[in-house]
Structure 1
Amino acid sequence: MIDQILEFSTNHWEMVAVFFFVLAAVVFVEMRGNARGITTASLTDLVNNKNAAVIDIRPTKEFRAGHITGAINIPANKLKDKNAELEKHKSNPIILVCKTGMTAGSNAKELIKAGFEVYKLQGGIAEWENANLPLVKA
């Protein structure tokens, strides 16, 4: 199989070069303007020492089933409309929390453009639960 890949790469080097160029461009664009991922320990540190606001962007039903203490629920589909509500947190870091950590990154871009210091919880609330950290049920 490796022989076939090498043969293809040799015979179609232009296509391989374009593929790697596009791949590098996608990685560069995705990394630019994206929230930095943080661990559960870093989240706790930012909340305790920098008065970070935890914004849980999961649907309200999931939020009520269990969320981080002090978290504010603003579902992802309403986040763009709530920039004014988030203004009071602009001087402090904002940590976005979703179910698995995937949705938070894409939602962070708008907040970063608006001048917020934004982080995302790596692994989301699932990682928080895996670490056996407490959840508040409403």
Structure 2
Amino acid sequence: MERIIEFALNHYVYVLALAVVTYLLVQELSDALFNRFGAISPLLAVTKMNDEKVLIIDVREPDEFIKGHIEGAVSKPLSSLTEQLPTLDKYKKATILIACQNGTRSASAGKILTKAGFEQILVITGGMQAWQDEYKLPIKVVNKYKK
């Protein structure tokens, strides 16, 4: 036991790094276990869109949305998603697909929606980047000069 304490005192940076990494791993595991939303690949998302009526929410900023989005998607930027939740209340029991640029903002949006009581939430893995680059799926581009 004395040697462990001596090691910890002599190599406190390593011990601190181990503690931080352990904390982050436990947090990641608990997030994965307690998430009430799932993930779906772009191809499976297309299948789901063809098989049933889904709501597609794009949580990117409007300037990103204009450059290209999934056909039928609605723009609800993550920065204002909590304020826009009342407009989505009628979809609480519907299947909701969430897209962002690369999948990181979608997870945050999924947490917000599950806390608000939405039941069937699926995050598109890889976001629009995977949708366009990896799977070569079509997008809709909005002409921002159209009136």
The answer on whether the counterparts of 1:54 and 1:71 sit within 8 Å (CA) in structure 2 is: yes
Q: In 2, distance between residues paired with 1:23 and 1:63? A: 32
Structure 2 residue runs of 5 or longer lacking an equivalent are 9-14, 143-147
TM-score by length of 2: 0.77
1:133 matched residue in structure 2: 137
Task: Give the equivalent residue in structure 1 for 2:26.
Answer: 25
CA distance in 1, matches of 2:21, 2:49: 40
Distance in 2 separating the partners of 1:75 and 1:97: 10
Which is worse superposed, 18-27 or 92-101?
18-27
In the alignment, the residues of structure 1 paired with residue 126 and residue 18 of structure 2 have an alpha-carbon distance, to the nearest angstrom, of 33
In structure 1, the partner of 2:65 is 63
Q: How many percent of aligned residue pairs carry the same amino acid? A: 26
Q: Distance in 1 between matches of 2:136 and 2:18?
A: 46
Pairwise CA RMSD: 2.5
Asked whether the 8 Å contact 1:95–1:119 carries over to 2, the reply is yes
Q: CA separation in 2, counterparts of 1:127 and 1:17?
A: 34
1:97 equivalent to 2:99? Answer: yes
The CA deviation at 1:118 is 1.2
Secondary structure at the residue paired with 2:39? Answer: strand
Matched pairs, number: 130
Cα gap change, 1:73/1:19 in structure 2, threshold over 3 Å: closer, same or farther? closer
Between the aligned partners of 1:66 and 1:17, the Cα distance in structure 2 is: 43
Over 4 Å off, 4+ runs: 16-21
Provide the secondary structure at the position in 2 that maps to 1:44: helix
SS in 2 for 1:128: helix
Alpha-carbon distance change, 64 to 18 in structure 1, aligned in 2, over 3 angstroms: closer
- In structure 1, the gaps of 5 or more residues are 1-7
2: CA distance between counterparts of 1:128 and 1:41? 8
- SS of structure 2 residue aligned to 1:125: helix
Name the residue aligned to 1:49: 51
The SS at the match of 2:50 is: helix
Distance 1:20-1:59 versus aligned 2 partners, 3 A rule: closer
Pairwise mapping of residues 64-79 of structure 1 onto structure 2 (< 5 A)? Answer: 64-79=66-81
